[in-house]
Amino acid sequence: MEFLPLIGIALLFWLFIIRPQQRRQKELRSMQSSLGTGDEVMLTSGVFATVQQVEDDHVLVEIAEGVTIKVARGAVGTIISRTERPDEVEQDHDQTGTDAGTEEN
């Protein structure tokens, strides 16, 4: 019975601190793995850039006209705006079910 409060405190600590942090890290890794050419991003240093090329563990980003730098994938903190790539446009049309041949008059 003496350990019940300690177990409760450990459970609350896990529930309110560790679990949300793990979820944020998973979302961040997912976002960093979905980077594509043309995406406007903000680096963890606060620098805004446009993704020019995506490699395995790093990306080339343009921070000013003609100035391209190589940064680690983990340095990307946020995607500001995402450009629609042709494969995404096709998926969007498939999901909405709109097709020129299926319209009813």
What's the structural domain count of the chain?
A: 1
Q: Is residue 36 part of a domain?
A: yes
Strand partners, 54: 59
Residue partners of 14: CB distance under 8 A and separation at least 6: none
Whole-prediction pTM value? Answer: 0.61
Question: For the chain, what's the residue count?
Answer: 105
Assign residue 20 the CATH number of its domain: 2.30.30
Domain that holds residue 71: 4-86
Separation between Cα atoms, residue 45 and residue 102, nearest integer Å: 49
What pLDDT, in 10s, does the model give residues 14-64?
888 888 889 988 988 888 888 889 899 999 999 999 999 998 889 999 999
Radius of gyration of the chain (CA): 21
Strand partners, 30: none
* Distance in angstroms between the alpha carbons of the first and the last residue of the chain: 74
